[in-house]
Structure 1
Amino acid sequence: MLRHLDAAHDRFGLSTPFRISRGVKTAADVVTVTIRQGETAGRGEAVPYARYGETIDDTLAAIRAIAPRIAAGATRADLAALLPAGAARNAVDCALWDLEARLAGTSVAALAGIAGPVALPSAITIGLDTPDAMARAAAKVAHVPLLKIKVDRTDPAAQIAAVRAAAPAPRLIVDPNESWTIETLAALAPYLSGWRIDLLEQPLPAGEDGALAGFDGPVPVCADESLHTAADLDALAGRYDVVNIKLDKTGGLTEALALANAARAKGFGLMIGCMVCSSLGIAPAMLLGAEAAFVDLDGPLWLGEDRPGGVIDRNGMLSPPAPGFWGDAA
């Protein structure tokens, strides 16, 4: 039976601005893919990211260009030859997983041979701001198990110290989003253990992370922008301890599962992350969370209004979407 692919741009306004070192976001612009076969439809979502040269229009064009191949029956296994790793492939891959599970009357977890989604301790992000404002934001969520702090090069010591003072209990991830130099990292290294930082995420620009080779810091360092697919892992050895898997980078759940297995085999710890997106972008990623040391899937929590039936956060524990939302035949 022929399939029909539809791709659309959806926008979700944020409840509060999301600030990181490279800019401010006030809305989540996503691409939603729906693939129909008869009366059954599968959905996927992706966030085109300017950091990787992606735009909404280019992503939509790439997806629509392969629509005839999808209509003729192209499978997830065919996608790597049709689209590069990135947002476009992610949306299509996740829609095909969803469709396949619904047609088979089962779940994506069962098809993949992995455990189903469960509630996970997921990071609550403290956006970049003045140290005082970051402290106020942290104080409101000081009871959660895991916080992620967005910092830059202006005064990261004050930013981190303010959050830690306001939230003494949670585990902490610090994310400079490529804004530091090796000199900044070396200067701050003696203080990181005192602040009880659990993970430092992508401190240096991806093109400069060779400086991390041989760097003996006090906390594990995680690759984010430096990692996209399993092909990148060998170059990260000796530089990073943990890798951040995001489906918008890998090009979907299919490659993300392969990357997770390859990363574990090479001795890397796992972090599962996301862009600012709706729960449709989070549902597939939650299938990877149980095997990860760090989970950062709070993208939908920034939205003024999520898709109906999406994930729910209760005190830093993220519960999966309602049955039938994505990835099962309920």
Structure 2
Amino acid sequence: MRRMQIEVLELPLARPFAISRGTRTAVTVIRVTLEQNGFIGRGECTPTPRYDETPESVNAELEAMRADIEAGLSRVDLQTRLHAGSARNALDCALWRLGAALAKQSIWQLTQQEQPISVITAETLSLDSVANMAEAAADAVSRGAILLKIKLNRDDILEKVAAIRAAAPYATLIIDANEAWSGVDLHSLLNALLPYNIAMVEQPLPAGQDQDLQRFTHPIPVCADESCHTREDIAQLRNRYEMINIKLDKCGGLTEALAMVAEAQKLDMRLMVGCMLGSSLAMEAALPVAIAAEHVDLDGPIWLAADSSPFLSYSQGRIWL
């Protein structure tokens, strides 16, 4: 007999986290624990208002699946029983971990991948003033950060990037506009960013309103985040983006994420793996995707006032496994 437990938790942040859509001081996550024959599998998701999710709506989706999950619904059957999103992510990852426990194997063994020693991860620079973002960049690289992800809106774009590059001359820089650059002359802006050696720009235009990206050759690679949820989205994005950002909370778990990796590779799309704010429990589940990605952004736990088990080790710009 399988049992399911659902917990809704508010995790305070160590400092405010600001993007173009707003600022947060805490994050609400939902954790699912599955127990079967004394073995346990856990999953965590972060309901996201941008995708019309609330803790209440995701909790209701999970409760609606309780009878089937406790009756033994398989991870494969889950994919067609629940739509892509946070609720399916929590269940899918819990089922992966439960399956690993029952088989007395690691997730790496189940996915037939070799566990790396470490993975380079971005450290995100929260949206702030020019001076504060430059100071945050200097602090990050002083602690060993290798890859910095710059959150931007429409204000002082070049000034912020210039100040951050001066503070972090050797770091790899990627930019995330979170859909905020509508009405901006993107061709001119991307060319203006070239002197700062930007590796990638993420989701400059709103999802569904990104047709302008196919108008010109991009001098800097552009990555789809909000525009790309599941493998079905990838083919239609090829003429707008060079890269896609896979997030387990968007695609509905590790099962779909691995399918997205295969599809993107088949279509010659470059890969990034990202996250919502959350604990190490959520980040660890994405690591089998991270080893296939060109850029990894799994820094959610370093924003928390207190992390949760399995307590991934973050130092020198890497996640150590």
| TM tier relative to shorter chain | over 0.9
Compute the displacement of 1:181 (Å): 2.1
Compute the displacement of 1:38 (Å): 2.4
CA distance in 2, matches of 1:11, 1:217: 40
Compute the displacement of 1:288 (Å): 1.4
Secondary structure in structure 2 of the residue aligned to 1:81: helix
Residue 9 of structure 2 aligns with an amino acid whose one-letter code is D
TM-score normalised according to structure 1 size: 0.94
Compute the displacement of 1:116 (Å): 2.4
Greater mean deviation of Cα atoms: 43-52 or 280-289: 280-289
Greater mean deviation of Cα atoms: 52-61 or 181-190: 181-190
* Contact preservation (8 Å) 2:111, 2:288: no
Residue 213 of structure 1 aligns with an amino acid whose one-letter code is Q
Paired position in structure 1 for 2:273: 272
CA distance in 2, matches of 1:72, 1:141: 47
Paired position in structure 2 for 1:242: 243
* Contact preservation (8 Å) 1:230, 1:259: yes
Secondary structure in structure 2 of the residue aligned to 1:154: coil
CA distance in 2, matches of 1:177, 1:109: 32
Spell out the pairing of 1:27-176 with structure 2 (5 A cutoff).
27-142=26-141, 143-176=144-177
* Contact preservation (8 Å) 2:281, 2:310: no
Residue 212 of structure 1 aligns with an amino acid whose one-letter code is L
Compute the displacement of 1:58 (Å): 0.5
Could you report, residue by residue, the CA deviation over 1:110-158 in whole angstroms, capped at 9, with x for unpaired residues?
Answer: 1122222541110011100000110111111224211000000122111
Paired position in structure 2 for 1:324: none
Paired position in structure 1 for 2:203: 202
Could you report, residue by residue, the CA deviation over 1:31-52 in whole angstroms, capped at 9, with x for unpaired residues?
Answer: 0000111211110000010000
Paired position in structure 1 for 2:18: 19
Secondary structure in structure 2 of the residue aligned to 1:292: coil
* Contact preservation (8 Å) 1:228, 1:249: yes
Could you report, residue by residue, the CA deviation over 1:270-306 in whole angstroms, capped at 9, with x for unpaired residues?
Answer: 1010001000000011111111110000000100110
Residue 149 of structure 1 aligns with an amino acid whose one-letter code is I
CA distance in 1, matches of 2:185, 2:279: 34
Paired position in structure 2 for 1:254: 255
Residue 84 of structure 2 aligns with an amino acid whose one-letter code is A
Compute the displacement of 1:168 (Å): 0.8
Secondary structure in structure 2 of the residue aligned to 1:206: coil
Paired position in structure 2 for 1:289: 290
CA RMSD of aligned residues (A): 1.1
* Contact preservation (8 Å) 1:87, 1:248: yes
Greater mean deviation of Cα atoms: 184-193 or 214-223: 184-193
Compute the displacement of 1:211 (Å): 1.0
Compute the displacement of 1:217 (Å): 2.1
**Structure 1: any 5+ residue segments left out of the alignment?**
321-330
Q: Does 1:217 align with 2:218?
A: yes
**Structure 2: any 5+ residue segments left out of the alignment?**
none
Q: Percent identity?
A: 45
* Contact preservation (8 Å) 2:281, 2:309: no
CA distance in 1, matches of 2:183, 2:220: 15
Secondary structure in structure 2 of the residue aligned to 1:179: coil
Greater mean deviation of Cα atoms: 246-255 or 308-317: 308-317
Count how many residue pairs are aligned between Structure 1 and Structure 2. 319
* Contact preservation (8 Å) 1:10, 1:31: yes
Compute the displacement of 1:182 (Å): 5.3
Paired position in structure 2 for 1:3: 2
Secondary structure in structure 2 of the residue aligned to 1:207: coil
Paired position in structure 2 for 1:227: 228
Greater mean deviation of Cα atoms: 58-67 or 115-124: 115-124
Secondary structure in structure 1 of the residue aligned to 2:210: helix
CA distance in 2, matches of 1:88, 1:63: 6
Secondary structure in structure 2 of the residue aligned to 1:198: strand
Q: Does 1:317 align with 2:318?
A: yes
